[in-house]
Structure 1
């Protein structure tokens, strides 16, 4: 597989920066999945989504917790879906928010970032993983080492989209906001000199719900990719999303989950549901279309034309 930064550059250029969030929750999806023939709804549901979006988007983000909540059936569905998406050249982000000390962090890194050819299991290999830094910089290092060794990506929580984030991330520590200290740490982990003018594989999670904070934090994240959740259901808007962009194609990825897949009428038919997902995809991709200021060449343009 290609390095994470190449996947981002190539797929954003072709499909735009929308990320399909896959957060399987039975109460939010059509009831026909409950009648699937294999004894559990989650596998057929995820395959249905991948059928609907393959060839339309460059990235999917699997929220690990929803799969874990379904037990072994969920974990089997997650593994199969990750393998399928990567085989289709869709960039796979595993949203697991792992974080721990020493050997435990290294084990998490092996589980999600190490290829089978290097000794990993391969069952849950992602192109990129979300990680939690709040136990300190040393807890990030095993993830960074593994990501650098195998050309993977990381998204480090920095200023998240949930309302309770202000309780810690907007507090001052050592004359700086915690979120600012995190952004500076992420920038330094990226080796700014080596990545100058190019994307870094170490990125940051900054919510679309806090565009002013995000714009301020972007100054520490020149070549870093920002993953910006919160568009739609959590209150983020398109204007706020664009405020988080830097100057490099691919330096912003925008996940949308419920806004694409949730239904009010659970009795919708399979055909109507597929059409609804594709129509929403087209709308989001059009709304996110953007031309970077340094030029109008195809290399600098995100247009989501294959909606």
Structure 2
């Protein structure tokens, strides 16, 4: 599998750099005040993004941009997101856009063109990601345009399955027939991914399952044998790194652990940028060690 496809990126980058995903959720109160000075007339956001990417490049294999935080900054935020996504790919990151899009018909197709279709094939080109988070709650047909991009362009999807927020169980832990909603979603993810996979390798269609729900995650992993699980919740949400073993499969790239505030938040906004760089690097190395995959046997 080519390393330019999502599954190729997953396997190669997880082997080289581990499972931590640098989560970029830019929020000014969490950012050192120095960026408001060094950013000049361009504003703090581009300078901050360049800093984070330069600091973590070569130390982490994946970056996840949370679209909402950029949208909240208006047109300047969207412009900064586009530049940062292109730069992240140039620096060798696997790029995940966390937009959780989901809709019907032509609207879903438009989202797929915006985020997963290369410009040379008719996409907008400004926000092209390697992998996109999507919301399946309106039904399997809403995934079809995104799956088409997986098939045509080697992209990846991460489909909401059992999320990390406190209220997730209100719907996701409800019974429907003889299955929980989250189990039905896991079965859907496996079924649609099976049509996109080659052999017994990783599926390009994975699941979002919170690191805060280890018991549910263990059950769902059995329904997702070849899927990558994106496991948010480590850090301020209270997820335990030790619980991640319940979500692991048997191969590199089948678990990704995004950390944003727990990696990048500056509790002291007056921190000097050299000290902030050392802080981020130290946190990243600690996180990588904390979630490191146990040695795989020869078959892994």
SS at match of 2:237: coil
Which residue in the other structure is 1:23 paired with?
A: 25
Give the 3 Å change call, closer, same or farther, for CA 290–227 of structure 1 in structure 2: same
Identify which range, 139-148 or 122-131, moves more after superposition.
139-148
Which residue in the other structure is 1:32 paired with?
A: 34
Pairing 1:135-146 to 2, within 5 Å after superposition: 135-146=138-149
Looking at structure 1, the residues matched to 28 and 15 of structure 2 have their Cα atoms a distance apart, in angstroms, of 34
SS at match of 2:168: helix
Looking at structure 1, the residues matched to 155 and 18 of structure 2 have their Cα atoms a distance apart, in angstroms, of 20
Alpha-carbon deviation of 1:292? 4.6
Question: Contact 2:242–2:291 (CA<8 Å) still a contact in 1?
Answer: no
Q: Does 2:222 match 1:211?
A: no
SS at match of 1:31: coil
Which residue in the other structure is 2:102 paired with?
A: 99
Question: Contact 1:249–1:292 (CA<8 Å) still a contact in 2?
Answer: no
Alpha-carbon deviation of 1:194? 4.7
Identify which range, 261-270 or 185-194, moves more after superposition.
185-194
- Aligned with 1:276 (options 261, 274, 279): 279
Q: Does 2:47 match 1:44?
A: yes
Aligned residues: 297
Cα-to-partner distance string for 1:93-132 (whole Å, 9 max, x where unaligned): 0000000000100000010000111111211000000000
Q: Does 2:81 match 1:75?
A: no
What stretches of structure 1 of length at least 5 have no aligned partner?
A: 301-307
Looking at structure 2, the residues matched to 272 and 126 of structure 1 have their Cα atoms a distance apart, in angstroms, of 31
Which residue in the other structure is 1:305 paired with?
A: none
Looking at structure 1, the residues matched to 252 and 295 of structure 2 have their Cα atoms a distance apart, in angstroms, of 7
Which residue in the other structure is 1:66 paired with?
A: 69
Q: Does 2:252 match 1:249?
A: yes
Q: So what's the TM-score if we normalise by structure 1?
A: 0.94
Q: So what's the TM-score if we normalise by structure 2?
A: 0.96
Q: Does 2:236 match 1:233?
A: yes
Alpha-carbon deviation of 1:238? 1.3
Looking at structure 2, the residues matched to 292 and 168 of structure 1 have their Cα atoms a distance apart, in angstroms, of 36
Question: Contact 1:247–1:292 (CA<8 Å) still a contact in 2?
Answer: no
Looking at structure 2, the residues matched to 128 and 174 of structure 1 have their Cα atoms a distance apart, in angstroms, of 32
Looking at structure 2, the residues matched to 289 and 239 of structure 1 have their Cα atoms a distance apart, in angstroms, of 10
Give the 3 Å change call, closer, same or farther, for CA 204–166 of structure 1 in structure 2: same
Looking at structure 2, the residues matched to 250 and 97 of structure 1 have their Cα atoms a distance apart, in angstroms, of 21
Looking at structure 2, the residues matched to 190 and 220 of structure 1 have their Cα atoms a distance apart, in angstroms, of 12
SS at match of 2:204: strand
SS at match of 1:290: coil
Looking at structure 1, the residues matched to 28 and 147 of structure 2 have their Cα atoms a distance apart, in angstroms, of 35
Give the 3 Å change call, closer, same or farther, for CA 55–96 of structure 1 in structure 2: same
Which residue in the other structure is 1:166 paired with?
A: 169
Question: Contact 1:215–1:243 (CA<8 Å) still a contact in 2?
Answer: yes
- Aligned with 2:15 (options 1, 13, 16): 13
SS at match of 2:257: strand
Question: Contact 2:136–2:159 (CA<8 Å) still a contact in 1?
Answer: yes
RMSD: 1.4
What stretches of structure 2 of length at least 5 have no aligned partner?
A: none
SS at match of 1:180: helix
Which residue in the other structure is 2:4 paired with?
A: 2
Looking at structure 2, the residues matched to 213 and 133 of structure 1 have their Cα atoms a distance apart, in angstroms, of 19
Question: Contact 1:21–1:60 (CA<8 Å) still a contact in 2?
Answer: yes
Looking at structure 2, the residues matched to 48 and 285 of structure 1 have their Cα atoms a distance apart, in angstroms, of 20
Alpha-carbon deviation of 1:185? 0.3
